[in-house]
């Protein structure tokens, strides 16, 4: 169902390709990581205010989050629909790559700094482009309604969405549109159907040795202050015991059920080094990705036991601090159908010869032979949601409802939600060969290679939003399905309430850029 508003939105995006390209490159070059996306968040806030949006900064107590609203009251009679979209903009430590065709960090940094991998730089600007195109079409054609656009920091640690959900930022929406650059086949230029992402829990265990003098205490005498005296094992030993015990957990607990995983990151703290003093503080973060909440609770209980025993054996106490608790996703076929219709109108992205020439140069620099057609064939063709679903489920047990992990899932319990994918540039490789990580990162920053995805995704976002705004029947069908699947809507018998019972974990020592007398540096010592 093409409308005049569709033509206006598509024309808007075509006319603003250069602006979207520059914007994506700006966010890419910021390369800011979880909870520390100060420049990126500020860029979005300023841009949205320039476009006439009312913006709440620091939404839900998260300094780099925001929530923006714009309402077109022209032609409004009674209650008008509200449509949600969002931007992500966090990068990943250890992936600093310049937008060039060889392995090279951004100027003044080393490879340990942050860089965009998915890339969220393109994800956020795609959604912003769709948002602004929808607004322009609403103004031109007198379409009443409200657009809500949230800024979602720390997606890589599943940070903001469970918190926004718990604080009501997704309530009252008639539809939520979730876009992601494709990250695994067959989810390329398609829409998720039944099998949405699963649950994710993440926590930090903090081991503190704040009474080392009690270790080995006898006859009421304190430990003598001698470099040759006994000392408490301390926090580093606790962390290592926790690390090894939980590594064994991965090999022995539910090893072949449901595609679950646990990954860990050791956080750093300034502490004694060569002196004969126990480490006073050590932190380790875990992230688990599981199909169900009961599995997450089971793994959490095992990690808790490991932490308690590690602390007891090393003269420490332990604290557990939540980073995220996110719910598995809820399907909505009506929303999927609306977006699939939009994606068919827009078509798959297409890469021009200029992009192919860049891709060939990257292939050579990565040690491969240049190919006449360097991009994966799947990047330039659509696959239906049902066909992608069938391929996705080939390796999953019939009882498994959810697979993999992403925190858009928290949105699905508050509004009819669609999750769609558009191809990011990905290269063919000879059989048995694999590209190093810098290749995908570079492709996500080079304008000629990432812009086709941004344009295609922005158009799909806009057409989906306009369909929801203009087609009351389609909107009602999606809402009815949401009510049925949740057993009555928000608060219904099958509805899963937000799991977030913690404050935003913004006070930990997350990696960030700092300015010193030496200039701007990544927090890991910077050897340019």
Q: How confident is the model at residue 254, as a pLDDT? A: 60
pLDDT band at 528 (very low <50, low <70, confident <90, very high): very low
Give the single-character DSSP code of 59: G
Q: How confident is the model at residue 90, as a pLDDT? A: 97
The tens digit of pLDDT for each residue in 331-385 reads 999 999 999 999 999 999 999 999 999 999 999 999 999 999 999 999 999 999 9
Angle CA 336–131–338, to nearest 5 = 15
Q: How confident is the model at residue 211, as a pLDDT? A: 80
Please identify, in words, the CATH class of the domain defined by 200-326. alpha beta
The tens digit of pLDDT for each residue in 6-37 reads 999 999 999 999 999 999 999 999 999 999 99
The residue among 287, 489, 320 whose CA lies nearest residue 407 is: 287
| High-pLDDT (> 90) share of the chain, % | 71
Domain definitions of the chain by residue range = 4-196+329-485, 200-326
Q: What is the mean pLDDT of residues 472-492?
A: 97
Alpha helices (H) along 31-119: 38-50
For 461-515, the DSSP string reads: HHHHHHHHHH-HHHHHHHHHHHHHHTTSSTT-TTPPPP---S---TTS----EEE
The tens digit of pLDDT for each residue in 129-154 reads 999 999 999 999 999 999 999 999 99
CA 303 from chain centre, in angstroms, equals: 24
Which token pair is 325? Answer: 């608790």
Q: What is the mean pLDDT of residues 82-102?
A: 96
Residues 6+ positions from 22 with CB-CB distance below 8 Å? none
Which token pair is 146? Answer: 């409200």
Q: Flag whether pLDDT at 230 surpasses 70.
A: no
CA 474 from chain centre, in angstroms, equals: 29
Angle CA 86–89–91, to nearest 5 = 150
Q: What is the mean pLDDT of residues 46-61?
A: 98
Give the single-character DSSP code of 94: T
The tens digit of pLDDT for each residue in 428-440 reads 999 888 899 999 9
Q: How confident is the model at residue 251, as a pLDDT? A: 72
Q: Flag whether pLDDT at 227 surpasses 90.
A: no
Q: How confident is the model at residue 256, as a pLDDT? A: 55
Strand partners, 205: 284, 320
Residue of 444 and 252 predicted with greater confidence: 444
The residue among 156, 161, 89 whose CA lies nearest residue 125 is: 89
Burial (0-12, 13-18, 19+ Cβ within 10 Å), 228: exposed
Q: Do domains 4-196+329-485 and 200-326 have the same CATH topology?
A: no
CATH 3.40.630.10 fits 4-196+329-485, yes or no: yes
- Return the SS3 of 176: strand
Residue listed under structure tokens 């020592």: 509
Which token pair is 173? Answer: 């929406």
For 98-129, the DSSP string reads: -SSSSS-PPTT--TTSEE-SS-HHHHHHHHHH
The tens digit of pLDDT for each residue in 387-417 reads 999 999 998 889 899 988 899 999 999 999 9
Q: How confident is the model at residue 405, as a pLDDT? A: 84
The residue among 35, 116, 159 whose CA lies nearest residue 407 is: 159
Residue of 38 and 256 predicted with greater confidence: 38
Q: How confident is the model at residue 297, as a pLDDT? A: 93
Q: How confident is the model at residue 40, as a pLDDT? A: 98
Are 129 and 120 a contacting pair, CB within 8 Å? no
pTM to 2 decimal places? 0.92
Residues 6+ positions from 392 with CB-CB distance below 8 Å? 186, 187, 195, 403
The tens digit of pLDDT for each residue in 157-187 reads 999 999 999 999 999 999 999 999 997 889 9
C-alpha separations of 258 from 194, 254, 292 in Å: 16, 8, 9
CA-to-CA distance for 25 and 28, rounded, in angstroms? 5
Q: Give me the chain's average pLDDT, please.
A: 91
Q: Flag whether pLDDT at 326 surpasses 90.
A: yes
| High-pLDDT (> 70) share of the chain, % | 92
Q: Flag whether pLDDT at 51 surpasses 80.
A: yes
Q: Flag whether pLDDT at 272 surpasses 80.
A: no
Q: What is the mean pLDDT of residues 235-240?
A: 86
pLDDT band at 218 (very low <50, low <70, confident <90, very high): low
Are 130 and 461 a contacting pair, CB within 8 Å? yes
């Amino acid at each position: 169902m093409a409308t005049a508003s569709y033509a206006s939105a598509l024309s808007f995006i075509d006319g603003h390709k250069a602006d979207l390209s520059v914007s994506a490159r700006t966010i890419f070059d910021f390369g800011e990581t979880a909870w520390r996306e100060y420049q990126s968040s500020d860029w979005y806030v300023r841009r949205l205010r320039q476009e006439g949006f009312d913006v709440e900064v620091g939404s839900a107590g998260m300094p780099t989050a925001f929530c923006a609203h714009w309402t077109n009251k022209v032609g409004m009679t009674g209650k008008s629909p509200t449509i949600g979209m969002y931007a992500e903009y966090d990068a990943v430590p250890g992936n600093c790559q310049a937008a060039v065709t060889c392995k090279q960090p951004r100027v003044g940094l080393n490879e340990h700094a942050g860089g965009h991998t998915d890339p969220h730089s393109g994800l956020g600007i795609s959604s912003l482009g769709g948002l602004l195109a929808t607004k322009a079409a609403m103004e031109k054609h007198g379409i009443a309604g409200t657009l809500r656009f949230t800024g979602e920091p720390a997606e890589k640690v599943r940070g903001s969405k469970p918190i926004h959900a718990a604080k009501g930022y997704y309530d009252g929406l008639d539809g939520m549109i979730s876009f992601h650059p494709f990250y695994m086949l067959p989810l390329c230029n398609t829409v998720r159907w039944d099998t949405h992402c699963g649950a994710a829990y993440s926590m930090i265990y903090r081991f503190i040795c704040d009474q080392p003098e009690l270790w080995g205490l006898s006859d009421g005498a304190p430990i003598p202050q001698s470099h040759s005296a006994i000392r408490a094992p301390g926090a580093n030993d606790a962390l290592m015991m926790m690390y090894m015990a939980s590594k064994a957990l991965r090999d022995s607990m539910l090893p072949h059920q449901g595609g679950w995983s646990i990954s860990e990151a050791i956080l750093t703290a300034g502490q004694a080094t060569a002196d004969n003093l126990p480490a006073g503080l050590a932190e380790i973060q875990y992230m688990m990705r599981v199909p169900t909440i009961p599995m997450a609770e089971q793994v959490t209980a095992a990690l808790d036991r490991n932490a308690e025993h590690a602390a007891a054996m090393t003269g420490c106490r332990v604290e557990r601090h939540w980073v995220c608790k996110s719910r598995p996703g809820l399907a909505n076929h009506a929303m999927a159908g609306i977006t699939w219709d939009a994606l068919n109108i827009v078509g798959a992205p297409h890469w021009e010869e200029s992009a192919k020439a860049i891709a060939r140069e990257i292939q050579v620099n990565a040690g491969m032979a240049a190919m006449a057609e360097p991009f994966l064939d799947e990047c330039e063709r659509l696959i239906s949601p049902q066909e992608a679903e069938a391929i996705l489920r080939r390796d999953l047990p019939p009882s498994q409802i959810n697979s993999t992990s992403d925190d858009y899932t928290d949105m699905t319990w508050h509004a009819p939600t669609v999750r769609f994918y558009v191809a990011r540039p990905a290269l063919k490789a000879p059989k048995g060969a694999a590209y190093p990580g810098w290749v995908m990162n570079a492709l996500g920053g080079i304008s000629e290679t990432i812009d086709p995805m941004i344009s295609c995704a922005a158009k799909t976002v806009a057409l989906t939003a306009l369909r929801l705004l203009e087609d009351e029947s389609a909107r009602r069908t999606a809402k009815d399905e949401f009510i049925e699947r949740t057993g009555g809507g928000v608060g219904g018998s099958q509805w899963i309430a937000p799991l977030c019972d913690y404050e935003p974990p913004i006070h930990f020592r997350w990696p960030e850029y700092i300015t010193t007398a030496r200039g701007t540096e990544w927090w890991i010592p910077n050897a340019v």
